Amino acid sequence: MKRALWTALGLLCIFQSAWAQPPERITGPDGAPMVLIPEGTYTMGSTDPDITETAPPHRVHVDAFYMDIYEVTNEQFARFLNALKEQGRLTEQKRKEWVVIRTDLFSQERKDWWPTEILYEDGLYRAFPNFERHPVNSVSWFAAQAYCQWAGKRLPTEAEWEWAARGGLEGKRYPWGNAIPTMGVIFGRVWTDNQAPVPTEPVGNYHPNGYGLYDMAGNVWEWCYDWYDPNYYKRSPEDNPRGPSEGTLKVLRGGSWFNGPIFLRVALRNFGDPYALQDAVGFRCVMDIPKEREGK
């Protein structure tokens, strides 16, 4: 009897331990695959003299969270637009403030320099054929924020983004190490006509980094949650920093299809007007670990 009782208690402890440990991979509420980014402390920033806004390097602790394995695609973003349109929550004015679509390229306002592969036909938004799995681009920070909220997620903080992009590597220039980018990394491309397809590639290029994330360098820049301040690192808190409390620009990370190798460095900081529809700017989402999964 005692042996059976101890066996039952042992199994209960095993099940409780398994429940407290979050699964390594999950499917997000929007159907996107996500991977667990572990809790950890790392040196954020760099001493490279050509990217001074990344100084001073400082230690940062980040709690565990889930991150989209891939950048949000045209297909996913079109599904989001259709869902809001069906609910009566998407006006044409709001859509124009959020993202450029191919119909816009015929207008006088946006006829010259916006890459976009989303269409609006027969009352529905959809990805341009064969570009379904390319990353959405020419989206504002507010559009990225709205998508994440719709999907039950959020934008990553700058500290979370860099920690995830490093993939467990300490002090390296790129998500894969110190070697300059090679074939498979989408960067340094030329594009001169917005009637032509944008020179991105489907998400999931090259090799995943140490945490299983793709395209953390190149393809499209990725919006972060934080306001941008070039001097923020001088006063950043160590525990889960979330950036300045206010500002006018938002942080961008990761480089894009048209940038050179310097912009693909994992520590490099870029910025953009949150209202702007910039070419080669997209995003991916993160999600907090449910409290019951943390065993709290």
Whole-structure pTM value: 0.91
**Candidates 3.30.70.1230, 2.40.240.10, 3.90.650.10, 3.90.1580.10; correct CATH number of 35-73+133-287?**
3.90.1580.10
Structure tokens at 201: 């590639």
Q: Which residues contact 91 (CB under 8 A, 6 or more apart)?
A: none
286-287 sheet: strands from edge to edge: 25-27, 33-37, 65-68, 286-287
Count of CB atoms situated within 10 Å of the CB of 37: 25
- Report the C-alpha dihedral over residues 164, 167, 170, 174, rounded to 10 degrees: -90
Q: What is the amino acid identity at position 91?
A: T
Quick check: bond before 56 cis, omega within 30? Answer: yes
Rounded Cα distance between 229 and 155, Å, is: 18
Rounded Cα distance between 37 and 64, Å, is: 6
Q: How confident is the prediction along the chain (296 residues), in pLDDT tens digits per residue?
A: 444 434 333 433 433 444 568 999 999 999 999 999 999 999 999 999 999 999 999 999 999 999 999 999 999 999 999 999 999 999 999 999 999 999 999 998 888 889 999 999 999 999 999 999 999 999 999 999 999 999 999 999 999 999 999 999 999 999 999 998 878 899 999 998 888 889 999 999 888 999 999 999 999 999 999 999 999 999 999 999 999 999 999 999 999 999 999 999 999 999 999 999 999 999 999 999 987 655 44
